[in-house]
Amino acid sequence: MYQYYYRRAFTLCVWYNPSMMHRSHRLNKSGFTLGLLTLLLIVSCAAPPSASVSEPTAVPLLLNNVPTPTPFLPQPEAPTDENLAQVPLQLVPTYTPYPTKYVISQDISAPVGAAPADSGVTLYNPLTGLPVDDPYFLQHRPLAIKIGNSPDYVRPQSGLTLADVVYEYYIEWGDTRFIGVFYSNLYDIERVGPVRSGRYFDENIVRMYHAFLMFKGADPREYDYFKSLEISERFISVGIGNCPPYYYGPYKRDSYNNIFFNVTKWEACVAKKGYDNSPQTLSGGFFSENVPQSSTYVTRIYDFYSVYNYSFWAYDPIEHVYFRYQEAKDLVNRKVEVYDQLMDDYTKEPVTADNVVVLFVPYIFTNENQAEDEVYNPSLVDYGDAYVFRDGVAIPARWNRTSIDQPMLLTNLDGTPIYLRPGQTFYQVMGVTSKKMTEGTEWRFEFETP
């Protein structure tokens, strides 16, 4: 039923053509044995499920008659293929969080740190691995901006295609939200948003990227927590006046979902307020154009957070990027998923990613009272499982972050660093008990919390 359901759903609802996407630019002994053989013969000859069955049972696809290993528990009988096998998650650490063995290729694109502006050395954006035309564009802190993804009418959003890194995570009641990290494009973006409220998770991004956080208020429990931090001055909420440069957008909608941020005016505001906007030594990982070896080819990556919010990434082998498709209708009164291509209303381009990384992170609560209204505090410190998708291949991975003030490192299961493709990276933040299902070259992740 699972295979039929999704083939049927996407035959009806999605037509994916890479070149067209580009042009639009993303079960007595012998008696027992006889009985058992008879039963097996009956089962093997039974007719397949009727095509009229419309409600699937979500179970993992079997690979060579061996259950697909989950990303979360030890699987002693798992396949030996290193690209499919998984090691235990969050049990006994059997590896060094920051590995001592690094495989550094000669064409690494993003050295950590920054060369002086007058050194004559090619400077790379450490968050994307791409060269920067003018070193001046990196002489500041990054901006982390909260961007809404619900209700549906806030789409298409503005500025997603210009972020260096984007995280999507579950907030509450079926909704997700983006937090985009902007670094190299800070001087030419006039509209990012709609800007929405902060969450506990955002502190991880502020600390990892030494960034400012632009957000539109928060639940009092979270807002008070932000103000108690030693880095509280880097949490910049909507206020009165034009500094910080928030403004009402050009859309006929409620004002709550119509607040945007003008990045081009931020530098002047920084000077006026006296914020510490000094250059930072940043790390976004390792980058290389070389395609990593992997026997697992994946053309689509589905991220199902809820009946209200689901999406998929479709790989384009011509452009070497993943195009984003977002749900067009919820599943409250329907069984078939419907998608539209996600666009950026500011650049008028489709939302794409050079790398898609699925992180499995504990979604916890600060205290018992906060569970009633889903005030989650996802923990992105320590280590966990992940999958890295680049150039159409899937790489089983680990994420490592030993200190709250350090960046996150992605490694292979043997502890060696993973090289991302130079360009933009989207992180899908899933719960540690979320499900992974596969069907051919299509992988599906369904969000769940304990």
Calculate the alpha carbon distances from 311 to 10, 54, 146, 168, 443 in Å: 12, 20, 19, 11, 12
Phi then psi dihedrals of residue 266, to 5 deg: -70, -40
Domain that holds residue 236: 139-273
* Shared domain check, 316 and 226: no
295 shares a domain with 244: no
CA–CA separation, 446 and 436 (whole Å): 7
- Residue 311: name the closest of 299, 302, 321 by CA: 302
Residue 99's pLDDT is: 35
Partners of residue 209 on adjacent β-strands? none
The answer as to whether 93 is a domain residue is yes
Task: Summarize pLDDT for 53-80 with one digit per residue, the tens.
Answer: 233 333 232 223 333 232 222 333 333 3
User: pLDDT (tens digit, 9 = 90+) per residue, 289-298?
Assistant: 999 988 899 9
Q: Are residues 345 and 391 in the same domain?
A: yes
Residue the block writes with tokens 């494009």: 185
Q: Is residue 387 part of a domain?
A: yes
Residues belonging to the chain: 450
Using CA atoms, how far residue 155 sits from 78, 213, 223, 250, 301, in Å, is 41, 21, 26, 13, 21
The pLDDT of residue 415 is above 90:
yes
Q: Report percent pLDDT > 70 for the chain.
A: 73
Domain boundary among 239, 273, 307: 273
| pLDDT score for 235 | 98
* Backbone dihedral angles phi then psi of residue 148, each to the nearest 5 degrees: -70, 155
The single-letter DSSP state of residue 17 is -
Q: Indicate the average pLDDT of the chain.
A: 79
* Number of domains present in the structure of the chain: 2
Is residue 133 very low, low, confident or very high in pLDDT (cuts 50, 70, 90)?
A: confident
Q: Are residues 166 and 252 in the same domain?
A: yes
**Domain match, 316 and 205 both:** no
Q: pLDDT per residue over 101-125, tens digit each?
A: 333 333 334 443 444 545 566 789 9
Residue 398, pLDDT above cutoff 60:
yes
Residue 368 domain flag: yes
3 state SS of 297: strand
Range 263-268 average pLDDT: 95
Note whether residue 30 is domain-resident: no
Task: Identify which has the larger pLDDT, 367 or 140.
Answer: 140
Same domain, 73 and 192: no
Using CA atoms in the order 223, 227, 233, 237, what is the torsion angle rounded to 10 degrees?
Answer: 20
Instruction: Determine the pLDDT at residue 42.
Output: 39
Give the Cα separation of 95 and 400 in Å (integer). 10
- The answer to whether 126 and 112 are in contact (CB under 8 A) is yes
Look at residue 120 in the predicted model and tell me its pLDDT: 62
Closest CA to 198 of 184, 174, 178, 228: 178
In a domain, 121, yes or no: no
Q: Both 146 and 258 in a single domain?
A: yes
Q: Look at residue 118 in the predicted model and tell me its pLDDT.
A: 57
272 pLDDT band, cuts 50/70/90, is very high
Residue 196 and residue 255 share a domain: yes
Same-domain status, 191 and 238: yes
SS3 content of the chain, % helix, strand, coil (to 5): 20, 30, 55
Does position 376 have pLDDT exceeding 70, yes or no?
Answer: yes
* Same domain flag for 326 and 208: no
Together in a domain, 250 and 336: no
Mean pLDDT (whole number) for 151-163: 97
Looking at residue 260, its pLDDT comes to 97
Return the higher-pLDDT residue of 335 and 373.
335
What is the pLDDT confidence band of residue 318, given thresholds at 50, 70 and 90?
A: very high
Q: Is 46 contained in some domain?
A: no
Inform me whether the pLDDT recorded for 362 exceeds 90.
Answer: yes
Per-residue pLDDT tens digits for 6-43 = 333 333 343 333 333 333 443 343 443 444 344 334 33
Checking phi first, is residue 120 left (phi over 0); if not, alpha (psi -120 to 50) or beta? left
Average pLDDT for 194-200: 97
